[in-house]
């Protein structure tokens, strides 16, 4: 079957709600089709080559951000704080883990969510579930939950403004390595993580100072990477009216490009071979992530790769494993063994968030820092044991001082302080930095399997 940007419409729609006024949806799509794309084909190619390096073990993919971005939390401080934590994590991974880091935010478009049920009962009334700010509102009322096509345009403009700020931060001096010591967020307090980070930043400054003293040209001229970073956007390609409306042709080659983000992924719920999301993604040149849970079967995954990456291009596919701490070891080992010898070019990454849901005593959704850390450790160890490159990590995190995941050395012990997520619980800044140190140390450690080490860490 030939591909077009609208060929997904012939499939059975998954996680795409019906709109009460289809003409209003079409009008919003038409206006979006006239808007400039958010990203450009050259950037997409550049990212793919960086991901290819990560697949070979010469770089590491750090992908992170909100479970669901929302219009309410949108402001300069929020965007800057998330970006800053990602930069700090990247610094830790680069200097402790000794690998360049490919930085990809779950940002500037992560506004649509898959839900396990289309409706829910609130105060005895059945209403539609919240599906992300691109589609409806979080308020649990029939009006709030009605899909509103104008929100698709709002999502576009929020994404454009977010990306504009991020591009300015990434290249305008904010990301300058000399500022690394000043990227500390106030609330990290006096914790051990903060001290560790301060020491690292001091060490880097010293090294750069020595290099500056010995160099004729200034450091930024000598290593442009010292004052600029590459930062990419990503989201789940779920809501296809938005994706189709932003699909463009590369003016140089004519290749179709998804213009909504550099990197798009397919979720655990939409990776079926005949899903409309797979149909849309098979036609665009962007790098693609595939979430892969405990039920994943290698032959199914290989069929998916035949569809999404028929030329077996390196850097094109990232498989994001998310089996959960109890099933991770067995699932990952089996998958790696079955893939071995297939010759498939894949970057393996791990999402230690979505397989590890827990509830606290009141039934509020949370995740344990210890489970998150443990799943990453298992991933790295199983990769090493099987001769596979542990190429990346995919996290739900924020720069805000939230109390949504329990544990970590700053000991979040209950969720009551600041539980703000509209969807899944996120790591806060301190937990994110702590995790980055742990991952970096693990990556740089002697490559012997540490699978059976017992950890008393919370």
Give residues in contact with ligand PEP (CB under 6 A).
67, 114, 236, 267-269, 291, 322, 351, 354
> Does residue 62 touch Co ion according to CB under 5 A?
no
Binder of Co ion out of 69, 148, 377, 424 (CB under 5 A): 424
For the bound state, the minimum distance from the C-beta of residue 421 to Co ion, rounded and expressed in Å, comes to 9
> Does residue 320 touch Co ion according to CB under 5 A?
no
Residue whose CB is less far from ligand PEP, 52 or 325 = 325
Could you tell me which stretch among 24-32, 67-75, 87-95, 163-171 binds Co ion (CB under 5 A)? 67-75
Cα gap 92→438, rounded to integer Å: 10
Give Cα 157 distance to the centre of its chain.
Answer: 20
Residue whose CB is less far from Co ion, 67 or 87 = 67
- Whether 292 contacts 269, CB under 8 Å: no
Cα gap 60→93, rounded to integer Å: 8
For the bound state, the minimum distance from the C-beta of residue 440 to Co ion, rounded and expressed in Å, comes to 24
Residue 351: its H or E element: none
Q: Where are the alpha helices (DSSP H) in 321-368?
A: 328-339
Residue whose CB is less far from Co ion, 235 or 374 = 235
Residue 322 interacting entry, from Co ion, ligand PEP, none, C-beta within 5 to 8 Å by type: ligand PEP
Residues written for the chain: 458
> Does residue 67 touch Co ion according to CB under 5 A?
yes
For the bound state, the minimum distance from the C-beta of residue 116 to ligand PEP, rounded and expressed in Å, comes to 10
Angle 198-78-41 from CA coordinates, rounded to 5° = 95
Closest to 308 measured CA to CA, from 336, 344, 339, 342 = 344
Cα gap 416→443, rounded to integer Å: 34
Residue 406 backbone dihedrals phi, psi, to 5 degrees: -90, 140
- Those residues with Cβ within 8 angstroms of residue 227's Cβ, 6 or more apart along the chain or in another chain: 173, 175, 176, 177, 178, 219, 220
Map residues 76-105 to x or -, x wherever contact with Co ion holds by CB under 5 A.
------------------------------
Residue 103 interacting entry, from ligand PEP, Co ion, none, C-beta within 5 to 8 Å by type: none
Map residues 126-165 to x or -, x wherever contact with Co ion holds by CB under 5 A.
----------------------------------------
The number of beta carbons lying within 10 Å of the beta carbon of residue 138 is 16
Strands 119-122 and 125-128: antiparallel
Residue 65 interacting entry, from Co ion, ligand PEP, none, C-beta within 5 to 8 Å by type: none
> Does residue 238 touch Co ion according to CB under 5 A?
no
> Does residue 404 touch Co ion according to CB under 5 A?
no
Residues at the interface with Co ion (CB under 5 A):
67, 424
């Amino acid at each position: 079957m030939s591909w077009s940007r609208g060929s997904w419409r012939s499939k059975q729609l998954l996680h795409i709600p019906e709109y009460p006024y289809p003409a209003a949806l079409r009008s919003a799509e038409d206006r979006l089709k006239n808007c400039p794309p958010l990203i450009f084909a050259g950037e997409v190619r550049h990212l793919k080559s960086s991901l290819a390096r990560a697949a070979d073990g010469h770089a590491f993919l750090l992908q992170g951000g909100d479970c669901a971005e929302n219009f309410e939390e949108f402001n300069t401080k929020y965007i800057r704080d998330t970006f800053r934590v990602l930069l700090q994590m990247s610094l830790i991974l680069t200097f402790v883990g000794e690998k360049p880091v490919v930085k990809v935010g779950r940002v500037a478009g992560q506004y649509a969510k898959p839900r396990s049920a289309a409706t829910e009962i609130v105060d005895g009334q059945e209403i539609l579930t919240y599906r992300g700010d691109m589609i409806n509102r979080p308020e649990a009322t029939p009006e709030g939950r009605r899909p509103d096509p104008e929100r698709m345009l709002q999502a576009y403009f929020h994404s454009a403004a977010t990306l504009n700020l991020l591009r300015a931060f990434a290249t305008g001096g904010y990301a300058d390595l000399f500022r690394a010591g000043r990227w500390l967020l106030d609330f990290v307090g006096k914790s051990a993580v903060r001290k560790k980070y301060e020491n690292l930043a001091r060490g880097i400054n010293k090294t750069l100072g020595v290099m500056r003293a010995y160099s004729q040209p200034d450091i930024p001229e000598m290593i442009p990477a010292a004052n600029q970073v590459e930062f990419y956007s990503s989201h789940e390609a779920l809501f296809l009216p938005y994706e189709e409306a932003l699909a463009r042709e590369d003016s140089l080659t004519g290749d179709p490009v998804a213009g909504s983000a550099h990197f798009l992924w397919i979720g655990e719920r939409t990776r079926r071979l005949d899903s409309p999301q797979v149909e849309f993604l098979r036609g665009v040149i962007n790098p693609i992530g595939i979430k892969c849970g405990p039920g994943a079967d290698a032959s199914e995954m290989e069929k998916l790769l035949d569809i999404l990456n028929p030329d077996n291009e390196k850097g094109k596919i990232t498989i994001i494993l998310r089996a959960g701490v109890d099933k991770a070891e067995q699932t990952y080992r089996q998958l790696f063994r079955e893939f071995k010898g297939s010759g498939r070019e894949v970057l393996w990454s791990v999402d230690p968030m979505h397989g590890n849901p827990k509830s606290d005593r009141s039934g509020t959704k949370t995740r344990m820092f210890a489970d998150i850390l443990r799943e990453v450790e298992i991933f790295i160890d199983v990769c090493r044991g099987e001769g596979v490159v542990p190429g990346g990590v995919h996290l739900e995190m924020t720069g805000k001082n939230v109390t949504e995941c329990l544990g970590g050395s700053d000991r979040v012990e209950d969720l009551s302080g600041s539980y703000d997520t509209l969807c899944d619980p996120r790591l806060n800044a301190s937990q994110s930095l702590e995790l980055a140190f742990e991952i970096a140390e693990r990556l740089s450690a002697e490559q012997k399997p540490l699978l059976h080490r017992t950890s008393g860490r919370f």
